[in-house]
């Protein structure tokens, strides 16, 4: 399935390392905004929701 509706985070800075997120079926796809042709990774809806909850809970020590 080819992702659609790619978008960059609203806090993205053109000089930083950022990713873009796209819709992939019921889940999401993620790609490098500086190398869009390199491909993407996908996650199903449940896995993506788990990832977002972990980010919001600051579980990655950022």
Placement of tokens 């053109």 in the chain: 14
**Considering the entire predicted model, what is its pTM?**
0.77
Q: 59 exposed, middle or buried (CB, 10 Å; 0-12, 13-18, 19+)?
A: exposed
Q: 26 exposed, middle or buried (CB, 10 Å; 0-12, 13-18, 19+)?
A: exposed
Residue pLDDT, tens place only, 7-53: 987 777 767 778 899 999 999 999 998 888 999 999 999 999 999 99
Q: What is the pLDDT, as a whole number, of residue 1?
A: 66
């Amino acid at each position: 399935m080819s992702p659609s509706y790619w978008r960059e985070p609203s806090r993205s800075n053109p000089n930083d390392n950022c990713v873009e997120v796209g819709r992939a079926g019921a889940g999401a796809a993620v790609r490098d905004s500086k190398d869009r042709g390199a491909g993407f990774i996908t996650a199903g809806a449940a896995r993506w929701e788990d990832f977002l909850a972990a980010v919001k809970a600051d579980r990655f020590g950022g």
